[in-house]
Chain A
Amino acid sequence: MTVPAQKAPEAGAPASLRPARPRWRETLGLLVRNPTAAVAGLVLLAIVLVAVFDEALAPSGPNEIAVEDRLRPPSWAHPFGTDDLGRDILSRVVLGAAVSLRVGFLAVGIALVVGSVIGLLAGFYGRWVDDVLMRVMDVLFAFPAVLLAIAVLAVRGPGPGNTALAIGIVYVPIFARVTRASVLGVREEVYVRASRSVGASDWRLLTRHVLPNAAPPIIVQTSISLAFAVLAEAALSFLGLGTQPPDPSWGLMLAEGRGFIDLAWWLAFFPGMAIFVTVLCFNLLGDGLRDVLDPRQRTLMAGGGR
């Protein structure tokens, strides 16, 4: 039988179990082509680098008090100005990045791991597993978020680690729900049944088929949650429950700057901008990732109209 059209559209390398190009490299390549997401990613990378090398980058110590320099507007000596105790705001924003991001990543990490495992099990196995797990999530979700976080912090005491834990617990039901909803859809896909029909175990189904295909909304949720976690850390610090003075965190700085808003706008403005830019970039990156992670979109974008 001669079936020319069944042959490859173009000849390539001999059969290999691997895709022609490693997946992550292709993903990265496509992400770079999406200008908004690429810029957002670069900015985030810069912010993360700043957070990692905070001590080296900060022009002065964050808690160096210079009363004679208090409430100076932005200048060459102090690009972001100084606060009411004469501390350099740029230095404090730089060190605050480390605190805010560490809390954010840790919180979302906890929520992501716990929440998506719960969602995965509930969605995949259904029946009583689903009933039990999701009712627990509902109870958790029914608490007002801030109240729940306050309760955790009240029990465990304030501090960055406990703040992250508190925010993480609050976000667990969100991840559980997003994952479960996504898994419920994927579970019914014929390719999952097909894989079962060749003898694949539950573990294999979950890790090779269900999770990868259910992942896009979880990834998007992750980047959005990172944004919210940074905000939540700010809010808790603002309430005096998160980071404790004199340590700098963006939320705490915002809270402290509030009192001087008509006198010295830079106190609240720069930490506010830091929060704003970080949150925006996480969101933009999340949108970009969602597009890039869809294989159908992939060819359309990579092929450029094949």
Chain B
Amino acid sequence: MSDVLVSARGLEVHFPVRSGGALRRTAGVLRAVDGVDLDIHRGETLGLVGESGCGKSTLGNALLRLVEPTGGRVTFDGTDVTGLGRRALRDLRRRAGMVFQDPFASLDPRRTVAQTVAEPLEVHGLRSGRRERAARVGELLELVGLDPAVAGRYPHEFSGGQRQRVGIARALAGEPDFLVCDEAIASLDVSVQAQVLNLLRRLQRKLGLTLLFISHDLSAVRHISDRIAVMYLGRVVEVGPASAVGAEPQMPYTQALLSAVPVPHPALERSRQRIVLRGDVPSPADVPSGCRFRTRCPHAFEPCPGVDPALQPVGAAPGHVAACHLHGVVGGPVEREGTVASAR
């Protein structure tokens, strides 16, 4: 079961930043994803957390090639995804689904629930014949806890939670091995979030799915994930078993992030020492040299600006890695010094 399904090596997604004006000259580079190494094991749920703008969503999209990577490699079940042709890419789309954040925006308002859920079946020619497709749509709706009788209705007739179930049914229609949930519960009410979290977890177990659960909500990620990866400014800075990352975070950023999550226990909240970070996340168009967290890190010391830290084993749990010099200075000297300086 520890066999890797999805793997990223040195993955980069850089967007050109264009200056205004008719000529649209490239003024800089926005490093949304900037050298990510990540393995997702078959059958596990990997939680990907980070603050807005850290590139977690872009990473999720790049793994499915919904955003074109500008560098590095992604392999899915052993095949390199980055070089796939049209037909092979379509097959990848069947084997890897995506659930989107806003269930009000992710369903075509002019198509019925059945038409939406049946789209993957039509695209991939999975069930021929109207009758079989309709039966399959009914199955899928039942699977996500909806009454198959609602198939003929339009999205606006449903609540947010119900729409998200429709979105999940669509993502599951092609019988994928891999499901990316991109902030899939962020727009839902608390009580409905719990319903969807439970559903995802049940489906993951029942169908043996591999899940990448992208969220800014650490509590939800901690709840649903087997392992957690933390992203900061385009880089994965800590990965490990959920219990280890949740209880003994090793990278100062993860520590700050966890300490900032409010928990619904007043006594605990009062006694807890929050690590309040200074300032804001730097712009991904102007990434600090060396360790990208150093500008806000309470523990920054000499090697931080000069050496770009690599992920190294930390803590007691096996498979727990973090990119931080506090655990020994590991990593290449700063490259791109010139570009960083000139970007200023």
A residues bordering B, Cβ < 8 Å? 1, 3, 5-9, 11-20, 189-191, 193-201, 204, 208-209, 212-213, 295-296, 298-299
Contact = CB atoms under 8 A, between A and B. Distances in A.
B133 A17 contact: yes
A199 B149 contact: no
Given A8-B147, A11-B149, A15-B138, A199 B94 contact: yes
B82 interface: no
A18 B106 contact: no
A200 B123 contact: yes
Contact of B148 (A1, A15, A196): A15
9 nearest CB pairs, A to B: A199-B93, A15-B138, A190-B105, A8-B147, A198-B120, A20-B152, A15-B151, A7-B147, A15-B148
B109 A295 contact: yes
Interface string B288-323: 000000000000000000000000000000000000
13 contacts: A6-B161, A8-B146, A12-B150, A12-B152, A13-B152, A190-B105, A193-B106, A195-B108, A195-B119, A198-B97, A199-B120, A209-B108, A209-B111
Given A16-B151, A194-B170, A197-B64, 17 more contacts: A7-B146, A11-B149, A14-B149, A15-B134, A15-B135, A17-B118, A19-B115, A189-B105, A190-B100, A193-B66, A194-B98, A195-B108, A198-B123, A198-B174, A199-B174, A208-B119, A209-B111
A215 B268 CA distance: 55
B100 A6 contact: no
Interface of B: 64, 66, 89-90, 93-94, 97-98, 100-102, 105-112, 114-115, 118-120, 123-124, 130, 133-135, 137-138, 141, 145-154, 156-157, 159, 161-162, 165, 167, 170-171, 173-174, 195, 198, 202
Contacts of A296: 109, 156
A9 B109 CA distance: 19
Nearest to B135: A15
Contacts of A17: 112, 114-115, 118, 130, 133-134, 137, 151
A16 B100 contact: no
Contact of B138 (A11, A14, A212): A14
Nearest to A6: B145
A16 B115 CA distance: 9
Nearest to B174: A198
Contacts of B110: 212-213, 295
Contacts of B124: 199
A209 to B, nearest CB: 5
Contacts of B152: 12-13, 16, 18-20
Nearest to A16: B134
Q: Of A3, A204, A209, which is in contact with the most chain B CB atoms at under 10 Å from its CB? A: A3
B334 to A, nearest CB: 35
A190 B118 contact: no
Given A15-B134, A16-B114, A199-B93, A8 B150 contact: yes
Contacts of B133: 17
Contact of A213 (B97, B108, B137): B108
A66 to B, nearest CB: 57
Nearest to B104: A190
A199 B93 CA distance: 5
A204 B124 CA distance: 12
Nearest to B86: A201
B106 A191 contact: yes
A198 to B, nearest CB: 4
A16 B118 CA distance: 10
A226 to B, nearest CB: 24
A198 B100 contact: no
A107 B268 CA distance: 73
Contacts of B202: 1
B109 A213 contact: yes
A196 B66 contact: yes
A16 B130 CA distance: 8
A15 B100 contact: no
Contacts of B156: 295-296, 299
